[in-house]
Structure 1
Amino acid sequence: MSEEKSKNTSEIEVQIQNQSLREESMAEEEQEDTREKRRKRKKRGRIRLIPIWVRLFIVIVLAAASLVGGLMFGYGVLGGGEPRDALETSTWQHILDIIEGKE
């Protein structure tokens, strides 16, 4: 009877060891799965609300608008002329003639 008891005890111990090994391997697999999920998340690019090319276009348009606005303000308000005249080619030709010394 004691042999049967020790046999049963050893079988139970083996079963417990097998169960703990299974649990450890399952935990390791879960950790690997979470690591893979994190890697996948990191590789995935960020979706932008406004694409970069649209941002660049907006910046260029705003820069051009501020240039035109500054020209009109400087020529009209500070220079005492008509603001629309700052956009005419004859005005710029006159300025270039002054710079080159033709006038």
Structure 2
Amino acid sequence: MSTNEQSREQVKQAKKTEERKRRIRIRLIPIWLRIVLVLFFMAVGAVSGAMIGYGVLGDGKPTDALKKETWQHVFDLVEKESEK
């Protein structure tokens, strides 16, 4: 390799490393928003799952799954079973 070819290779390598340094990734959705969205969708999934399970599979009213009395009854049943 001649000196001229070596200097061309060095210039190419320098440009490649410079391009790598200049690249800054811009996220479309920030990390904090991703976390909020995941928590939101988990809450929506839990509520809709409870409503479907109670209303469709359990033959009750889906809105009853959101009432405090329903959950209190469920917890009382579970505690009663564990005492035996």
TM-score (norm 1): 0.62
Equivalent position to 2:43, from 40, 57, 64: 64
Alignment of 1:18-97 (within 5 A): 24=4, 28=7, 30-43=8-21, 44-97=23-76
How many Å apart are 1:52 and its aligned residue? 2.4
Separation in structure 2 between the aligned mates of residue 41 and residue 57 of structure 1, nearest angstrom:
34
Gaps in structure 2 of 5+ consecutive residues? none
Distance 2:56 2:24 in 1: 49
Relative to structure 1, is the Cα distance of residues 53 and 87 closer, same or farther in structure 2, using a 3 angstrom cutoff? same
Q: Which has the higher contact order (CA 8 A, sep 6+)?
A: 2
**Higher Cα radius of gyration:** 1
Identity of aligned residues (%): 44
Equivalent residue pairs, number: 79
RMSD: 2.4
